[in-house]
Structure 1
Amino acid sequence: MYGIKYTILRYANVYGIRQEPKGEGGVISIFLDKMLRGEQPTIFGDGSNTRDYTYVEDIAEANLKALYHGDNEIFNIGTGKATDLNRLFDIMKKLIGFKGDAIYGPFRPGDIKDSCLCNDKAVGSLKWEWKYSIEKGLEKTIKYYKEKYV
């Protein structure tokens, strides 16, 4: 109506340093909190649910790019790579050196089975690309939490 420029960014499952494991914390911060305290995390369902886990620094970079590109557009910001909960747990277990196993609970009604974003438009129009694989992002996240809380 007033010709105001906008850019809308739709984020995938964002994780990284400073994420709080309580309340609305994501699965990575919840798993990390439990595993660093020697507790077994719970995987709801069989662990085949997938998410597009995107490291917070990649999200920040997309926000910066959106300041200069993409007026009046909507963009998906994610890696475009799906990671299931079993693989996520295995990666975290290895990086942390956790000795236990996950506990499997019932699938929670309302949980989305699979979620992964196509980022082609953001790559092309925003001149943005994700840089952190799930392993690389988890390494940085775990290092931060170990230094801060352990």
Structure 2
Amino acid sequence: MVDKQPHLNGGYYGPAIPPAEQPRYRHNHGRSCCCCLFGIFWKILVTLIVLVGLAILIFWLVVQPRSFKFYVTEAELTQFEYDTNNNTLHYNMVLNFTARNPNKKLSIYYDKVEALAFYEDTRFANYDVITHINSFRQYKKSTN
């Protein structure tokens, strides 16, 4: 004797739709080729942004860069004269700086250092302290 199959919660199991009347589905789900290319480009762009961000984060975590510290250790003004006839200022100022590199894994290469003097937001002098001729490297955790 053949067992009857139990009732399946009211599902309809009527006649099947003939193949000629079945709807046709396209593989690209109705999107144009341009839209597909834009989607691929967008995914690549987002992936590149995420990878660059991760690379910067990993670099920062490994190196942990700290800002350099500069201190004026000595200042001397030996000449300070104002000529009213020519409206010129004559001065001789000597400054000694101390540069500190607090980084554990980075050294600093000084190839150009320029000193600028301002008075009331107006620059009145500049001097090249270090040029490519007398450049030097400051190693990690050192003071010069």
Q: TM-score range by the shorter chain?
A: under 0.3
* Higher Rg: 2
TM-score by length of 2: 0.23
More helix by share: 1
Higher strand share: 2
TM-score (norm. length: structure 1): 0.22
